[in-house]
Amino acid sequence: MKGVTLTVIMVALVLAKANSTIINIPDDYPTIQEGIDHGADGDTVLVQPDTYYENLDFNSHNIVLGSMFLVTQDTAYIWNTIIDGDSAGSVITFENGEDSTAQVVGFTIQNGYAGYSDYGGGIGCRYSSPTIRSNIIKDNGAEDEGGGVYCYHSDPAINRNIIVRNSAKDWGGGVYCHQSSPRICNNAIAGNSVDNYDGGGICCRYSSSPTVSDNAIRNNLANDVGGGISCFADSDALISRNDITGNLAKWGGGIYCQGASPTISSNNITDNWAENSGGGIACEYYSSPTISNNIISCNSAIWHGAGVYCYTHSSPTIRNVTISRNWAHDGGGVYCDRYSSPTIMNTILWADTAADCREIYVGYECNPTVTYSDIEGGWPGEGNIDADPLFRDPEAGDFHLMADYCGDPSNSPCIDAGHPDSLDALLDCFHGLGTERVDMGAYGGFNSGWPTSVDDDENNGLSTPRRSLLRQNYPNPFNARTTIGYELPVHSSVRLEIYNILGHRVANLVHQGQEAGYKSVDWNASDYASGVYFYRLTAGDFTEAKRMMLIK
């Protein structure tokens, strides 16, 4: 078959593996499971578009299972190559020590259901560490834990997936971790739910230490705690550079910590809701999270701590945080009660709303330490100020600090106002602006805001950019609104355009001459469908395009 032969050649070129076999489904075998069973370590099982009603087990085979997306990078194959569990068990199971060379790439994985004897409605991992990449994991369920993905003593790489509308009765609607340290990066985790307990989006329990970075964690629901993420029992996760928005729980709408000390850095934690306490973050029972470089904004709680709620021997460290426009009964920004003594540094708490009219609530046996922070209404402590932080456009979700160098009408008082022993590692209009010491707020400090790397000699000051540069949009994936940054070394005729996956131009954001400098443009995609889009910058002779994902 000519098409299949060409496919085999293309896959062989892409994978560049010696002595490996390409098994085509359904040409070589009628079912995917037969292809897996006949594969050897290093082989590739390539699946043609169709709907396959199967419940797969990798059976210790370290093979690559991929749709035609693996060859073409055409996302249409992800939507059109479906593995349907038909509610008969987990859709895909890894439980025999499979390693990172065992891969699932480019499928829609749906309608699995894990009973009490199964593990994970969509994908179950026990004592294995596969790679789970570029899939849509949707509409799966679990009687107990892990509606979308289940991890037990496993460290999988979970990258660039859409994990949506999965549910579990008890823990981890989207992803569940038990004594596991998966790498959960660049996913859209949205609309997942837990009926009884915790972790609508992600649940971490029993000494799990996952890396959770660069994800869109949106509109997840937990009936008890941790609408977006929950961390229990020594689960010291690294939670960085995520967009945690619109999640709901009784305690800890965005993030909930109990007996755990995660590192929470450089996240947008906005518009989350807690029916009781901690719209943004809630900390209870010996939790000591380090909370640095975040934006905690527009969260709501009926009773306590719309921004951060701390309870019973919790001692979080809070640094370089923007906490703005929250609502609560007590402590619009930070709520501390019963032996909770957070350390708050380089933080902006502004325009939060609470019945007690205080940004920070101090309850029983609490002694917070607050330094080098901008607190509306003032607060005692070294380096604290009480001044409008001058966000660029908070109503549009832009909490960067104003700076005249970046074309703003004024300079924020939070620039060069953080702790004198800290410096902004990245300096431009999207990162820190302080040249003498760290800025207060979410964009000061190290590696904040934009998940990007720069050369050692790039952006080492606030001089004119040395070369044309198009930055990755942030956040990405995103829901409705994202920011695109770029740099111009000289005056240029600029066009910034948005294209859909079919190559049709859907928006023209910039079409004008612009002076040299650091630029940013917001794209409001609320009227556009979910999917992959491309944005292209043309500035004089410079042209570059990048990929982004909209998920609603």
Contact in structure between 169 and 194 (CB atoms under 8 Å): yes
Residue-wise pLDDT tens digits, 181-230: 999 998 999 999 999 999 999 999 999 989 999 899 999 999 999 999 99
User: In angstroms, rounded to a whole number, what is the distance separating the alpha carbons of residues 254 and 299?
Assistant: 8
Report the alpha-carbon distance of residue 215 to residue 187 in Å, rounded. Answer: 5
Beta bridge partners, 151, equal 125, 177
Residues of the chain with pLDDT under 50: 1-16, 18, 327-332, 446-463
Token duo for residue 106: 């480019």
Q: What are phi and psi of 26, to 5 degrees?
A: -100, 10
Q: With H, G, I as helix, E, B as strand and everything else as coil, classify residue 461.
A: coil
Classify 300 as helix, strand or coil.
Answer: strand
| C-beta of residue 323 within 8 angstroms of C-beta of residue 351 | no
285 to 260, 309, 311, 314, 512: CA distances (angstroms): 9, 12, 6, 6, 56
Q: Which amino acid is at 223?
A: N
Quickly list DSSP for 15-53: H--TT--EEEETTT-SSHHHHHHH--TT-EEEE-SEEEE
DSSP 8-state code for residue 438:
P
Indicate the Cα dihedral angle 460, 461, 462, 464, nearest 10°.
-60
Query: What pTM did the predictor assign?
Result: 0.75
| Bridge partners of residue 311, in order along the sequence | 284, 337
- Token duo for residue 230: 């929950």
Strand, coil or helix: what is 537? strand
Q: For residue 492, what are the CA distances in angstroms to 149, 209, 370, 405, 512?
A: 47, 47, 45, 18, 8
Rounded-to-integer distance, Cα 212 and Cα 229, Å:
10
The answer to whether residues 306 and 322 touch, using CB atoms and an 8 Å cutoff, is no
Please name which of 406, 372, 375 lies closest in space to residue 389, comparing C-alpha atoms. Answer: 375
List the beta bridge partners of residue 371. 345
Q: Which CATH number fits domain 469-550: 3.40.50.1820, 2.60.40.1930, 2.60.40.10, 3.40.800.10?
A: 2.60.40.1930
Tell me how far apart the alpha carbons of residues 58 and 291 are, in angstroms, rounded to a whole number. Answer: 39
So what's the pLDDT on residue 45?
97
Q: What is the pLDDT of residue 352?
A: 63
Residue 27: per-residue pLDDT = 96
Please state the length of the chain. Answer: 552
Contacts of residue 373, Cβ cutoff 8 Å, sequence gap at least 6: 344, 345, 346, 347, 348, 349, 379, 381, 383, 384, 385, 440
Question: CA 307 from chain center: how many Å?
Answer: 19
Predicted local distance difference test score (pLDDT) of residue 53: 98
